[in-house]
Structure 1
Amino acid sequence: MELELNMMVGGEAGQGVQSVGFILAKTFARAGYGIFADQDYESRIRGGHNFYRVRAKDDEVGAISEHLDMLIALNRESITLHQKELKSTGVAIFDEEKIKDISPNERLLGVPLERLAQEKAGNKLMTNTVALGAALGLVKFDFDLLASVLREYFTGSGYDIAEGNVRAARAGFDYAQENFGDNMEFDVKPIAGVKRMLLSGNEALALGAMAAGCKFMAGYPMTPSTPIMEYIADKGRLFNIVVVQPEDEISVINMVIGAAYAGVRAMTATSGGGFCLMVEGLSLAGMTETPIVVVLGQRPGPAIGLPTRTEQGELEFAIHAGHGEFPRAVLAPATIEDAFHIAVKAFNLAEKYQTPVIILTDEHLVSSYGTVAKFDLEQVKIERGQLLSEEEVDTLTEYKRYLITESGVSPRALPLRGKALVVTDSDEHDEEGHIIEDAETRRQMMSKRLRKMNGLRGELEQPRVHHTPGAQMTLVGWGSTYGAITEAVAILQKEGVAANVLHLNELWPFPEGTVSSVLNGNTKSIVIENNATGQLARLIRAETGIKVNGTINKFDGRPFSPEYIIKELRKGVF
């Protein structure tokens, strides 16, 4: 029998919502379950309403669910806001001694959370851990496994804190089993022999960059991309990676260009506002044919917008940002595992084609956690393109940094390496890199650079296509919507409604051939994306001439769920 458990931890900032949510996810992952966990938090240090959702399943899972089996309510507001999301068999845990206007019953389970924390652990700050223990007691989980995760999580806080949290969890666990042992039908046992990593999208992307040989990162903190810089700064010490936080994003992009010009793989990670400041530098990389990787983590704008929420509002911005025309690739990972592999590919493309590559993520993907299999590093290939070795450079009688070639890619020597004189300039230049003003050289150099798009087009993976016999509609998406769309299609199929999936994670150069062949069929096409204006739908029409039959646009700062997609389809939006 399939086992699936959907849990939510709700409370104010400062109540340990994220800690409990992450430990829940980690514990179920350690027990062999597939996990997808996301967090919803406000842009404040204290107060407000935050929640953390954990979906555990004895199979792979790639999206959230709107229907809860359990709500861990650390304050009254969480019950008010989320009680309606509980299934008919779902339960809520709350502190009946602190929230006195709710009468406990078989679905609203009163647990003296703060009192147990004080009595058993000597610290009321461990109230959230009591609630965690109670939650796992209700589903008859293995307490020893929870205890091992708690000790691991709190190991940096000292022995007393770690053991105090174990005692707090034990108190909640025992209380729930003694008082509510029959309130839930779950009996969650570890799955033998299953081992997966639990990673966020940002962590997977950072690992991919490290595996790809990134040696320099500059960044200025900006949600949702800051964790990439933090992760590489921490882990990168073992791999001689330099991480710098300069005074602003203008400095960031120019430092990255400088490092890449000198010969190391270099990157930055930012969000929309920071990327705006980087755009002039992006054009500089395009003109100087310098290979850089830029992670653009989307969040709702304009201006500050909703800085801790999600959106897909910068697809067209990523494709067209910069003054003048120059080649680039735009990649948008569909899953957490995909983020690792796309990071590797981005660095390879950047160097092979000596051009900027943009990795387009969003808050939902990069801040969510999921279980992934161990990455096979033997499959990671480093491709540096036409980078000349010192021995090759020493055999040259002359060197032209911007030699005009059929592919548009010139042999690349590094400055101060060997005999080659490397000249570069932000002005238009000739093959040697010297400034020019004549029309013919300008035409030749522009054509040379843009020919790289032909090679890039052949490098990109084609969109993911899932055909269903008898399908009458095709759901189209990009980036982080993949999990929600594919699960919505699976649910529809169980209900007797067949649908195809067309999903893009490598978006530019645009794969017009595959998109055209799929959408020119006999199905209705519905594009699903987290923005207000239908940017992918517009891009499809611009590149293929095909006008899709309908769109489902969500732009409230929240991610798609399979249930939301199905609800909108039933409205007949197409």
Structure 2
Amino acid sequence: MRLRPVTRDFNQESDMCDLSIFIVGAAGEGIQTIGDVVARALLRSGISVFTTKEYESRIRGGNSSYRIRASGPNAPRHDADVLLSLNLEAAAHYENTASTNCILLGELPPGGQGTPIPFQELAREKFGSPLFANSIAAGALGSAVGLSQEILEEAIRERFARLPADVLQKNIEASQLGHERASASRSSSSVIAMKSTASTFTLASVHEIIPLAAAAAGCRFMAAYPMSPATGIMTAFAKDPELGVFVEQVEDEIAAINMSLGASAAGARAMTATSGGGFALMTEGLSLAGMTETPLVIVVAQRPGPATGLPTRTAQEDLNFAIHGGHGEFPRAVLAPSNPQDAADVTFRAFDLAERYQMPVLVLTDQLLADSHFSLPDLKIPEQPVSSGLADPSGVASYQRYALTENGISPRLALGQSEHLVLIDSDEHDETGHITEDLEITRPAMVEKRLEKARRLKGEMALPEPYRTDGARSVLISWGSSRAAVVEAIDLLRADGKPFGALHFTEVWPLPHLTLPDDVEYWSIEGNATGQFAHLLQAEWHIRLAGTIGRYDGMPLDARSIVAEVVGSTSEEVS
């Protein structure tokens, strides 16, 4: 079943605690700059924000949007309560996203509704350059959502701190002009008075947090080749040398995974990051990690495929690929964070599992998580001690890299760590690491050794996290980035008297041991067309699903669309 966008009526009195702001225009017009200034100003006012970007795969032109959800959940909304347009084409393109009573301002068609403000014309007239149009727009938008000019000035000083003093001052004056122009052109009743709190928020994206958590988990090497939407992880590492992680931009994804495996074999905790097409090139290296039992963390940032697909859009299409990629049978774990705090915990967990089980661990993110910024009141990077997965060579008399053990995990020494010979080869091998063709004893023993780790891993995988499942007759199942939309959908359904709950999976493979009640109606909610996680649940747990709701147009899941589909299809009576 395909999700379709749902808009709503906007009431300025009752909806002040959940405001959706769209800044729309062409690539290169500065929509991100405007959005960043206004988001900073909202945060300074004690108002939580969730921001995300929706843009085409082009450097200039087209239609793009920067979206701010203020005082609401950290989840996407696809309708706008306030829409600021930077050009007429964008105004027409995003017209159907406007909620009833939406406040429109900016470059608008003559004679239409809203507050027309010619940003570029004003910038040229007052400041001699169209470059100041963005600050005029930020001021106008700030006025529309009830922000004071003083708060906007603080946000502009923060955003443009590196500019020369005279240029910074012109940007401040430009925002003041926009603020005054919007206020004068609109009746006071159309100004939204946002309610602030005493809370302090950290604004962060998942891909900004993964490098911090990886460094805290002991990562010391990262090799990657740029590919949207994974590139930000590599650049975040490279921009922060204090993390102590050696970063190498290599010639392709094949080099990235093999170089990272080499670093891991030499004793360094290592990782790489890519997207679907790059992961396709990495699968031989993934299989190599399985055969050589070398720890490695791989972030796969999903986007719609196949092939190049939609490079700047989001999807949850690579779950099956992550679980089954690579030839042969070997253990792996697949984890999927849903927000920055999740990302911190999941990244730390990924390195721990990789090191202890001597296997690859895949972390599935996507474009939504890469490009969205979440407001978190108390973001924490794990600080527990990092224990080395390497054995103490002083306690090893005769070393065997692949010694057969009860749990399938052999003592691991790094290359060059001691006088002991460490043999690592992609061929099947005996306990010492030497190549073998013994099909009667050694080959079966090594297969069983590797798969014993998979069996034990299954026993320590985390159970799904329940949400409002008490008394629920229907349960929505989600994984990864779909969590926030599903949680919000449950709240909307519960508020309407419908007994729904949710189960969310962060550790998606292998599935843990769990028996679900059979008197509940289950729905799988995911960002793909074929219900990949639904099929996994049916194959592993033999549960009967009432249905699968998927979104596969490149846009993220949102609560109102989920509610509309569930209510339209479920046996629950509509009140």
| TM-score normalised to structure 2 length | 0.93
Give how far 1:190 is off: 4.4
Map residues 159-174 of structure 1 onto 2, 5 A cutoff.
159-174=165-180
Q: Match of 1:396?
A: 396
**From 71, 80, 83, the counterpart of 1:71:** 83
Q: Which runs of 5+ in 1 are unaligned?
A: none
**From 253, 256, 281, the counterpart of 1:252:** 256
Give how far 1:374 is off: 4.1
Conserved 8 A contact 1:295-1:358 = yes
Aligned-partner Cα distance in 2 for 1:220–1:86: 39
Q: Which runs of 5+ in 2 are unaligned?
A: 1-13
Deviation sequence 1:176-209 (CA, Å, 0-9, x none): 22232514242235433x2221111211222211
Conserved 8 A contact 1:489-1:500 = yes
Letter matched to residue 422 of structure 1: V
- 3-state SS, counterpart of residue 129 of structure 1: helix
Letter matched to residue 65 of structure 1: R
- 3-state SS, counterpart of residue 321 of structure 2: helix
Deviation sequence 1:144-163 (CA, Å, 0-9, x none): 22222222222234333332
Q: Match of 1:84?
A: 96
Q: Match of 1:347?
A: 351
Aligned-partner Cα distance in 2 for 1:466–1:209: 28
**Residue 18 of structure 1 pairs with residue 32 of structure 2:** yes
Aligned-partner Cα distance in 2 for 1:196–1:347: 28
Map residues 535-546 of structure 1 onto 2, 5 A cutoff.
535-546=532-543
Letter matched to residue 228 of structure 2: T
**From 371, 377, 386, the counterpart of 2:375:** 371
**Residue 219 of structure 1 pairs with residue 219 of structure 2:** no
Q: What is the percentage of aligned positions where both structures have the same residue?
A: 42
**Residue 464 of structure 1 pairs with residue 459 of structure 2:** no
Give how far 1:469 is off: 4.1
Conserved 8 A contact 1:527-1:537 = yes
Conserved 8 A contact 1:470-1:498 = yes
Distance 1:121 1:422, change over 3 A: same
Aligned-partner Cα distance in 2 for 1:129–1:407: 62
Aligned-partner Cα distance in 1 for 2:446–2:25: 58
CA RMSD of aligned residues (A): 1.8
Deviation sequence 1:410-465 (CA, Å, 0-9, x none): 11111212232211111111111111110211111111111112332233221111
Q: Match of 1:426?
A: 426
Aligned-partner Cα distance in 1 for 2:175–2:196: 18
**From 70, 85, 91, the counterpart of 1:56:** 70
Q: Match of 2:159?
A: 153
Letter matched to residue 83 of structure 2: L
Conserved 8 A contact 2:205-2:339 = no
Q: Match of 2:529?
A: 532
Deviation sequence 1:68-116 (CA, Å, 0-9, x none): 2200111112222323332333211123xxx5x42154xx111232233
- 3-state SS, counterpart of residue 451 of structure 1: helix
Conserved 8 A contact 2:222-2:246 = yes
Give how far 1:571 is off: 2.5
Letter matched to residue 509 of structure 2: W
Give how far 1:228 is off: 0.4
**From 326, 329, 334, the counterpart of 1:330:** 334
Aligned-partner Cα distance in 1 for 2:533–2:384: 30
**Residue 131 of structure 1 pairs with residue 116 of structure 2:** no
Conserved 8 A contact 2:216-2:383 = no
Conserved 8 A contact 1:298-1:362 = yes
Conserved 8 A contact 1:310-1:363 = yes
Conserved 8 A contact 2:344-2:381 = no
Aligned-partner Cα distance in 2 for 1:567–1:189: 29
- Where relative contact order (Cα < 8 A, 6+ residues apart) is larger, the structure is 2
**Residue 109 of structure 1 pairs with residue 109 of structure 2:** no
Conserved 8 A contact 2:206-2:370 = yes
Deviation sequence 1:502-531 (CA, Å, 0-9, x none): 111101111241xx32xx332211111111
**From 260, 266, 269, the counterpart of 2:270:** 266
Conserved 8 A contact 1:138-1:176 = yes
Aligned-partner Cα distance in 2 for 1:26–1:526: 38
144-153 or 479-488: bigger deviation:
144-153
Give how far 1:239 is off: 2.9
Conserved 8 A contact 1:336-1:366 = no
Distance 1:456 1:162, change over 3 A: farther
Conserved 8 A contact 1:478-1:503 = yes
Conserved 8 A contact 1:154-1:161 = no
Q: Match of 1:473?
A: 474
Count the aligned residue pairs: 556
Aligned-partner Cα distance in 2 for 1:500–1:191: 29
Give how far 1:478 is off: 0.8
Letter matched to residue 49 of structure 1: N
Aligned-partner Cα distance in 1 for 2:83–2:182: 14
